[in-house]
Structure 1
């Protein structure tokens, strides 16, 4: 062995690369009967549509746009749930319309050709470059009661209640000895407070669809001895129709019936 090599196994070369065997294993399951499980529940799956307009400026002159890659990113998806009285299970699942607030952006990577100065009347030399820009959007949409596949569990309101104790005190000098000051003690404060740690809904992005239209607003002919139909620009106006599908979920307790597994 080379004394300079302190590793007893060369991890860059596998010691064994053969076929592995497998066999059925018997899973351990909960006993038969009704069980409560805490799982994500799909509240709604909705397709949202909106329109975007943006002005994009390029750092170099653009001969033509070669390709645009787009990705929709959601940074906020919040279902604005109203609170209900504490412990009212019927009101917690009452069907009602709720607003869904959405915020995000479209990440655009624009690949374009930038003209080089050594163009001739027959040829235009160019360099391929790219520009990445984020086009933001923000909107709110209303989900009616019928739009929910499963009603959301509304949060229980926290409660705070004060209480006092009766106290009788002497009135002091100038008052009959048998008279007393009857009331509560202002030097003491008593309260019962209850907090509920409710489950907040969250979203998953399922799919997106974008229809866009880009137009140069400052295109002019190439300078010098270049073909007459060629031009360059620095600014474009972009109009997009954005459509994406989100899945709204919430962790809830669900009653399920546990059964036996079929024979393996």
Structure 2
């Protein structure tokens, strides 16, 4: 064996449990069929699209004092996106012009930072650690409708007074009037499809300021930090949709010699 050669022992290098090549399975192409002529489809309709600016300032601590932040990876998640369809502007003819949209969520941040485990006069050594935090946000915005939502309002309850000549006791025929023991009620309820949101895209601008400094006891030129003050501007692009019935007309395509 040559000098300075390093030999690694391996008790278990792993093994292949199974492997096989799968043949191509034959199949039959099926042509989709549908009804001819004008159609009525229930499909998602875009009520409006909005890019919302949310400004957030947060202060947080990492798992331990840190020397430097190396990288921050971010993702945005929505926990609420609720439209109040009749809470905005309504035209004189009753047409819905806009509605208020309530959104909530959080920015999940995976922060990679450097520690200072070993500090000498001219050298700082440490680990690359990470902490994941969720920074919450809440906002309200107004969505101008490209297509008004379909909203069905519950009708007023109606009551029918029943005539009864017997009352609720003896049927003597001496009392004629409204029945006191029977009511006839009518309610008119038409349900509304609930609008929902789709998250289209996100832009995030941020400034992270290390704060609450600590000076290392063996080297006063090495400064550690306990906290991070974060200022974020988040732009969230949303689509608000609702299932609606849409008429799809039949379009006839003719050659130049078609009769008009």
TM-score where L is the length of structure 2: 0.78
Alpha carbons of structure 1 residues 186 and 21: separation in structure 2 relative to 1, 3 Å: closer
Instruction: Give the one of 16, 21, 24 matched to 2:22.
Output: 16
RCO greater where, 1 or 2, for CA within 8 Å and sep 6 or more? 1
Structure 2, unaligned runs of 5 or more: 1-16, 88-92, 254-260
Q: How many residues align?
A: 230
Aligned to 1:131: 131
CA contact (8 A) 1:158 1:194 kept: yes
Of the candidates 25, 37, 54, which is equivalent to residue 41 of structure 2? 37
Cα distance change, pair 29–231 in 1 and its aligned pair in 2 (3 A): same
CA contact (8 A) 1:123 1:227 kept: no
Which of residues 216, 235, 249 in structure 1 aligns to 2:241? 249
Identify which of 49, 58, 68 aligns with 1:64: 68
Q: Is the 8 A contact 2:39 2:249 kept in 1?
A: yes
**Which residue pairs with 2:192 in the alignment?**
198
Is the 8 Å Cα contact of residues 214 and 239 (structure 1) preserved in structure 2? yes
Q: CA offsets, 1:101-153, max 9 Å, x none? A: 1111111111111210x32111111111111111111111112xxx3222211
Distance, in Å, in 2 between the alignment partners of 1:74 and 1:221 is 40
In the TM superposition, residue 259 of structure 1 has moved relative to its aligned partner by 5.8
1:77 lines up with 2:81 in the alignment: yes
Deviation of residue 63 (structure 1)? 0.4
Where do 5+ consecutive residues of structure 1 fail to align? 1-10, 84-89, 173-177
CA RMSD of aligned residues (A): 2.9
Kept in 1, the 8 Å contact 2:214–2:226? The answer is no
TM-score in terms of structure 1 length: 0.77
Distance in 2, Cα, partners of 1:185 & 1:152: 43
- What is the CA–CA distance in structure 1 between the aligned matches of 2:224 and 2:122, rounded to whole Å? 16
The answer to whether the 8 Å contact 1:32/1:257 transfers is: no
Q: Aligned-pair distance for 1:187?
A: 1.3
